[in-house]
Structure 1
Amino acid sequence: MNIEFAWPWFFAALPLPLLALLLPRAANATPPALHFPFYDALQIRLQSYTGQRSRSRLILAVLTWLLLVLAAARPQLIGETVHLPVSGRSLMLAVDLSGSMQTKDMRINGHQISRLAAVKLVAGQFINKRKGDRLGLILFGDEAYLQVPLTFDRKTVHTLLDEAQIGMAGKQTAIGDAIGLAIKRLRKEPARNRILILLTDGTNTAGNVDPLKAADLAAEEGVRIYTIGIGSGEMEVQTLFGPRRVATGDLDEASLKAIASKTHGRYFRARDTAQLAKIYTLLDRIEPVSKEKQSWRPVNELYFWPLGAAFLLSVLIALSAAFGQRVTSAPAEVRHA
């Protein structure tokens, strides 16, 4: 850290008060007065007193002027250099919260977990890696809702994804509406950086927008869509005759592939958490985090400190002058008497 001055040329004003010495002095007119024997001794003591006060006020005035010039030069505390990555992507996540996402057909470490739990686990790790990218979160069920607008705050995106619950957006699946909402939010971003990652385990069963028409609009707006179909397609259940595998889900892979193809994205199939993790790793390679950086140094203004000190000193000077005037008025009254 170091201190710099934004307007150092103000220091050229420091000698300006010296110009007052070049001005002619005011003539002192001595009014008529009566002579008192004790007045001369009193006058000598008062002159000594007022001389000391005048020197004190002069010192205060000089300090006040120095502080005012210092404040005018705008001293600034310059912090250490901070490097910030330049965002290379505006990336929106759209996560299905329909009722089927609670199906426990995903495995991790030999344990069955729900599809949504798998998404939270793996997508959370993906979010944490996207340092420098702007991330947003859409949750969809019967309708699509913007849970987090595009932001650099990865922690908030991760937290709100973890807090998402099955059914909070409805029990059905509005894929088209989710794509439409993402387009609306990505439209103002640079064309090459508009990305949507859509995770779903079913087919479009709700909403006002057809997914394929929404994909056509996304292609026109330059939004690349990576679709991820989640779910193993079967799960193990316990019956009276032992464990049995049953089919789960009605994933519309044809539509998801068509959406990805129309928008120059890709379709992925995640049958377990390991495959889902590989998909996100692949997405990191396809859409890498920007390595460019911007540098800046934080600046804290300090001018208010010398300005405040100058104000306090000016108050002291005013009080001193007022008090001195009352003291020196006494001999004048005696002299005119």
Structure 2
Amino acid sequence: MIEGFSFASPWAFLAVPLPLIAARLLKAQRHYARTLTVPSSVVFDNIDGVQNGNLGAIRSFTAILWTVWLLGVLALAGPQIIQPVVALPVSGRDIILALDLSGSMERKDFSFDGSSTRRIDVVKEIGAGFLRGRSGDRVGLVMFADEPFLAAAPTFDLSAVETALRNVEIGIVGRSTAIGDGLGLSLKILRRSPARSRVVILLSDGANTAGATSAESAARLAKTLGIKVHTIMLGTDMKENVSSATIAPKRDTVTLADIAKTSGGESFLIKTNDDLRKLVASLDKLEASSVASPSVLVEQNLWPYPAVLALLLCLAGFFAARRAT
């Protein structure tokens, strides 16, 4: 017996003797009612070929019928192998990426592959690179501008979070920067989390210019809840064009640094592509609370094999019968 082998519906084997029972009942009925005509295809001992004395062909045909029937019953019984499989290792950590989606994120002051790149595209690359190294973490995505919104609830399906990240666009919730509200929504989500370690990674390129919650009060709440906040300030040393109709807001590195310090996190300033690469490496070193990964039972269904074999035998018998006629 193969270890872990079982049947999902073992009661199906009760159907094995049904053809014999049916044949016996038909014989009894024919004995008491001579006028009843029974199709030769139903009764095993009355198959075409008896009249011709082809006993070998009859036995072969009967064997095929029984084989098809037994394979069908076996498929109905649902053979399966149940084996324990070690689940993906979990870190015991929930992370929320809180990303700035304000209008200033459209500025093209970063360079990728020799071409100017919008800040929002840099953010997407930062987030995607971070997600690829977060196997075992539950990660969610919060975006904020005039107001915050939950783009992806915390999940182990990191590819779904990355898809949500790459699909967001500037302007869907305004063009201001509500850092406090974005952090507040992130804390609200993590507050309900049972994870041993809860972390917010907040990325912005400007000062808090909107929202009902101040960044300072949100930072104090994070400390109270035991949620660590790591902050990332994005922006280059490129001089602002004061004569332009659109002036990018000044970077508020002090506020973001204070948020990180208050909550026990770290702050980063990204001004160049080298800073960007160092950031991803630094984020990969965030603390983790190891949790034993419980094994899960995985069922491997085997019923298609006898079902397909029975079908093939039926088709082979059908074409053989046509050739014989």
TM band (smaller chain):
0.5 to 0.7
Residue 235 in structure 1 maps to residue 226 in structure 2: no
> Aligned partners of 2:83, 2:107: CA distance in 1, in Å?
52
How many angstroms apart in 1 are the aligned matches of 2:192 and 2:303?
Answer: 39
What is the rounded CA distance, in whole Å, between the counterparts of 1:160 and 1:199 in structure 2? 17
- Find the residue that maps to 1:285 and give its secondary structure: coil
Is 2:168 the partner of 1:164? Answer: yes
Q: Which residue does 1:99 correspond to in 2?
A: 103
Distance in 2 between residues matched to 1:114 and 1:254, nearest whole Å: 24
SS in 1 for 2:192: coil
Paired residues in the alignment total 288
- Whether contact under 8 Å (2:102, 2:175) holds in the other structure is yes
Moved more, 97-106 or 189-198: 189-198
Counterpart mapping for 1:152-301 below 5 A: 152-190=156-194, 192-232=196-236, 234-235=237-238, 249-287=249-287, 293-300=293-300
Q: Conserved in 1, the CA contact under 8 Å of 2:232 and 2:269? A: yes
Q: CA deviation at 1:3?
A: 6.6
> Which stretch of structure 1 is more off in the superposition, 172-181 or 162-171?
162-171
Query: 1:292 deviation in Å?
Result: 5.4
1:148 aligns to 2:152 (yes or no):
yes
3-state DSSP of counterpart to 1:199: strand
Distance change in 2, residues 1:133/1:191 (3 Å): closer
2:108 aligned counterpart, secondary structure: coil
> Equivalences for 1:122-137 in 2 at 5 Å?
122-137=126-141
Aligned 1:7-156 pairs, distance under 5 A: 75-78=79-82, 81=85, 83-156=87-160
Question: CA-to-partner distance for each residue in 1:124-161, whole Å, 9 max, x for gaps?
Answer: 11111111211111110000000000111111211221
Shift of 1:81: 3.6
Segments of 5+ residues of structure 2 without an aligned counterpart are 15-69, 242-246, 311-325
TM-score normalised by L of structure 2: 0.66
What CA RMSD, in Å, does the superposition of the two structures yield over aligned residues?
Answer: 4.9
Q: Residue 84 and residue 137 in structure 1: after superposition, are their counterparts in 2 closer, same or farther (change >3 A)?
A: same
Amino acid at match of 1:168: I
Please say which structure displays the higher CA radius of gyration.
Answer: 1
Displacement of 1:106 in angstroms is 1.9
Q: 1:236 to 1:215 in 2, by over 3 A?
A: closer
Q: In 1, Cα distance between the equivalents of 2:288 and 2:3?
A: 39
Q: Deviations over 1:67-98 (max 9, x none)?
A: 9x999x98532358454222432111011010
Q: Deviations over 1:37-71 (max 9, x none)?
A: xxxxxxxxxxxxxxxxxxxxxxxxxxxxx99x999
1: CA distance between counterparts of 2:184 and 2:86? Answer: 38
* 2:207–2:249 contact (8 Å) kept in structure 1: no
Q: How far did residue 198 of structure 1 move? A: 0.3
How far apart, in 2, do the equivalents of 1:127 and 1:270 lie? 18
Q: Quick one: structure 1 residues 305 and 279, their matched pair in 2 at CA, closer, same or farther if it must change by over 3 Å?
A: closer
Higher mean alpha-carbon deviation, 145-154 vs 122-131, is at 122-131
What's the TM-score once normalised by structure 1's chain length? 0.64
Q: Specify the SS of the correspondent of 1:296.
A: strand
Aligned equivalents of 1:156 and 1:261: distance in 2?
A: 31
- 1:171 maps to amino acid: R
Aligned AA for 1:267? S
2-structure distance, mates of 1:271, 1:188: 35
Higher relative contact order (CA 8 A, sep 6+): 1
Is the contact made by 1:183 and 1:223 (CA closer than 8 Å) also made in structure 2? yes
Displacement of 1:176 in angstroms is 0.9
Superposed CA offset, 1:227-260 (max 9, x none): 000001x32799xxxxxxxx95411111111111
For residues 275-331 of structure 1, give each alpha carbon's deviation from its aligned partner in whole angstroms, at most 9, with x where no partner exists.
Answer: 12211211211235969544334125679999xx9xxxxxxxxxxxxxxxxxxxxxx
Q: Sequence identity, in percent?
A: 41
How far apart are the structure 2 equivalents of 1:131 and 1:191?
A: 15
| Paired letter, 1:136 | G
